[in-house]
Amino acid sequence: MSQFRWPRGTGESDGGPPLPNRLSVRTSREGRRTKPRFSGSGSICTSGQFHSSTGCAGTWETEAFVKFKAMNVLVKSTWCGLSCRTVTCGGLLQNCLSVTPFRLKTYQHPPDYSDVVMPERTKLKFMDKVPTLKKVRREMKRLKDISGPEKNLNTLTTGQYGIVALGGGFLHWGHLEMMRLTINRSIDSRTTFAIWGIEAPYKPITSKGLGKRMGGGKGAIDHYVTPVRYGRIVVEVGGRCELGEVERVLTEVAKKLPFPAKVVSRESLAAMQQEEAEKKLNNQNPWTFERVAVSNMLGVRKVLSPVDLRYNGRFAGKFRVPGRV
C-alpha cells in the first residue's frame, strides 16, 4: 500500500519544505494543551501530528491541511445532496442511509385485507345481447339519458377500485364483452374479483336499411345499448390486491370505451368529489352562471336550454364543462 503524500508545504517527510525548528506549546489554566506554535525543522505525518528534531510532538494544522479538510467536507456534502451553503441540512442519500443502515432493506407493512369479503362468483358474468322481454317498444333517442351527472350509482359499493365515466355515452354489447374478456383473463380469481356497475343493454336503437327512401314510419330495432352518465361507475374490482396490480388492465379497458373514463380507487374518487365541492364552496367570482341565468341578464334566458338551467351550465350535452362551478 503506497504512502499518502500531502501537498507541498506540509512537511519535509512528505516532499514539502522544512518547517521551523522550535515548538512552543501553550497551556491553559487547567493544564490542557492549546493550539501550539512551531519553529524549527520537522515534518507533519498523515495523522496531523508534528514531529520535530527535538523529540517533542504537537498537533498543528497548516494552511494546506485546512484546505484539504474543507475540500473533503465539500465533497461529502455534495455526495449527500447538500450545497456548500447548507451543510447542516440532510440530503436524499443521507436520508436513505439513515433509513437503511448496514445495507439492510426495509419494507413497508403489508396491507390488511381482513375486512375483504370475496363473493361466490369472482369474475364478470355474461351479459345478454337482447333483453328477455315479451314485447319491446320502440322509443325515441332521449339524449337526456346520457346528459348530466349520475346522482345514485356514483360510488364504489363492493370493490376498492373501478372505472368511472367522465362523460356520457351508450355502451353496446360489444363494449361489455370486451370488458368481460379483458378483465377475466387478467385477474387472479383466487385473490381478486370483479363485478358490473351497469345493467345489461336494455335501450332499443332503431335503424333503417341502407338505400331506403324517407318515410314509412320508424325503423326496426337494430340493437340495444346501456346509457351511461357522467360519474357512473362502470365496473368494480376488489379483493386481496393493490391498485398497481389491476391498474394496467383497467386503464386498457378505459381507453376503449366510447366516452372518457378514468381508473379510480376509493380514496381518489372521494378526493375528486371533494375537490368539486370545494371549488363550488370557495368560488371567489360573484358572477356565477346561476346568478346570471336567474337574473336574466341581457336576456340570456332566450338562448339557454332547460338542461343549462337545471345544471347551471356545468354540462354541455353529455360532456362536463371543465372549470365551471
When pLDDT is averaged across residues 190-201 and rounded to a whole number, the result is 95
Which residues lie below 8 Å from residue 40, measured CB to CB, with a gap of 6+? 19, 20, 21, 22, 23, 52, 53, 54
pLDDT at 131 over 50: yes
Q: What is the pLDDT of residue 107?
A: 79
Residue 201 CA from chain centroid, whole number: 35
* DSSP track, 155-185: S-SS-SEEEEESB-EEE-HHHHHHHHHHHHH
Mean pLDDT of the residues in the chain: 79
Interhelix angle for 173-186 vs 243-255, to 10°? 160
Considering the chain, what percentage of its residues have pLDDT values greater than 90? 50
Q: Are residues 239 and 122 in contact, defined by beta-carbon separation less than 8 angstroms?
A: yes
Considering the chain, what percentage of its residues have pLDDT values greater than 70? 69
Nearest to 120 by CA among 188, 179, 193, 186: 193
List, for residues 233-289, the tens digit of each pLDDT value: 999 999 999 999 999 999 999 999 999 999 999 999 999 999 999 998 999 999 999
List, for residues 80-123, the tens digit of each pLDDT value: 544 434 434 444 444 444 445 556 777 788 888 888 899 999 99
When pLDDT is averaged across residues 294-317 and rounded to a whole number, the result is 91
Which grid cell is 118? 370475496
- The structural domains of the chain, ordered by start, are 66-103 (no CATH), 143-209+216-266 (3.90.1170.10), 289-320 (no CATH)
Q: How many CB atoms lie within 10 A of CB 212?
A: 9
Which grid cell is 55? 523529540
Q: Are residues 178 and 253 in contact, defined by beta-carbon separation less than 8 angstroms?
A: yes
pTM beyond 0.75: no
pLDDT at 26 over 50: no
Q: What is the pLDDT of residue 101?
A: 56
Q: Are residues 155 and 269 in contact, defined by beta-carbon separation less than 8 angstroms?
A: yes
Higher pLDDT, 73 or 148: 148
CA-CA distances (angstroms) from residue 83 to 72, 77, 206, 258, 324? 13, 7, 71, 52, 45
CA-CA distances (angstroms) from residue 113 to 3, 118, 238, 256, 270? 61, 11, 10, 31, 20
Q: Beta 37-40 vs 21-24: how paired, if at all?
A: antiparallel
Q: What is the pLDDT of residue 303?
A: 93
Nearest to 51 by CA among 25, 6, 13: 13
